[in-house]
Amino acid sequence: MKKGLYNFCEIEERWRRHWLEQRTFRTDEPVATESSDKPKCYVLDMFPYPSGSGLHVGHPKGYIATDIYSRYKKMRGFNVLHPMGFDSFGLPAEQYAIEHGVHPAVVTEQNIDTIREQLQFLGLGYDWDREIATSREDYYRWTQWMFKQFFESWFDSSLQKGRPISELIAELDNGTRQLSDADREVAGPNQMWGNLTNSQRSSVLNNYRIAYHKEVIVNWCPKLGTVLANEEVTSDGKSERGNFLVYQRPLRQWMMRITAYSERLLNDLDVAELPDGKGGTFQLNWPESIKLMQRNWIGRSQGSDVKFDVLYPETNQIANVLTVYTTRPDTLFGATFMVVAPQHPIVTKGSSEYLVPPSYANQVETYIAKAKKEVPINHDTKEKTGI
């Protein structure tokens, strides 16, 4: 290299090679090492999807900022953990494989190799010894293990925590716990636990499990062959990926009973010390603005379920009961109508609760068919429609 000439390609290549060979950014285990007394700093980037032929300019925009911060903390004496991984187990990787006619396992690893090389070319200080990919068995075996824990647990509202489902079964077996009204809606009226079939018992336990099955209205995309979140659907009812039509339809899904924890989550925002799971405690040092966001997200409201009789138009005899939740029961005397969703059994043809008068049947069916094609964006701002 000529004197006074800065050959950045040569210099950068030399230092990249040195950092990889010497594992410069490897994080020591903080046990019985000189790092054990250092303050800890954990910096985690959003993992890239290996669903394309490489990175785009938006990736280093964030990665460079966290790299600067990580290096700064390391220079300040912190034991910095700055890992990298690949979010490779999902729809983007699957679609890329379909489009290119290559098995997902093959093309995903090829893309991971390419992206890793690009990240290392940028000279970013990651601990590559800790690389993970969500499509590899050494990672997803733990997500499967976690799901099993959720499935084999139930939320005990009296203790405000999860317990093994085996303990609930034992209580039902020995008679210390009786079937609830909700259980009998599944198992049948006047039923006792000891008389239930295995299928009925499974249905009852499904009402308690933290991970459970339920038929819900979802955003179904036939072309992608999967369910999409509202955020993955455009305002004109198409998939963000592929621009395919999306339909509203009932589908049996795995659900998480996270709402059972809502009261505990809300109360814990104001608790001075919380258990850390290791026999000690920790403080939730969140700004009040973040706590307010959490309270609004949990969205607790206090109200009442009010039951209204639904009458046959011809005879005025009671045909069914419509349950309405309200936070203002004092305003009920001014109510002139109740609104039901297009998915409600009372307007679902073939349902035992179907009560639409023949004169409105065609209009209701047309409206329901239209509603199935619409994806709810924001019920507060959306123009109201109905019959």
| pLDDT, tens only, 120-176 | 999 999 999 999 999 999 999 999 999 999 999 999 999 999 999 999 999 999 999
DSSP E strands in the chain: the ranges are: 40-42, 79-81, 85-86, 132-133, 153-156, 161-164, 211-221, 226-228, 247-256, 274-275, 281-282, 304-311, 318-326
- Residue ranges covered by each domain of the chain: 8-135, 141-262, 263-300, 301-338, 340-386
8-135 CATH fold: Rossmann fold (3.40.50)
Alpha helices in 126-193 (DSSP H): 137-151, 165-174, 181-187
Task: Tell me the C-alpha distance between 85 and 132, whole Å.
Answer: 5
Pairing verdict, β 79-81 and 40-42: parallel
Which phi-psi region, left, alpha or beta, contains residue 89 (left: φ > 0; alpha: ψ -120 to 50)?
Answer: beta
| Residue 153 main-chain phi, psi, to 5 deg | -130, 160
Q: Quick one: pLDDT at residue 237?
A: 87
The residue type of 386 is G
Q: Quick one: pLDDT at residue 188?
A: 84
DSSP class of residue 319? E
**Which residue bears the tokens 């329901």?**
368
Task: Tell me the C-alpha distance between 358 and 381, whole Å.
Answer: 32
- For the chain, residues with pLDDT lower than 70 are 1-2, 30-35, 373-382
Q: Quick one: pLDDT at residue 387?
A: 82
| pLDDT, tens only, 303-344 | 999 999 998 877 889 988 999 999 998 998 888 888 998 889
Q: Quick one: pLDDT at residue 375?
A: 61
Task: Tell me the C-alpha distance between 373 and 237, whole Å.
Answer: 7
CB 246 within 8 A of CB 233: yes
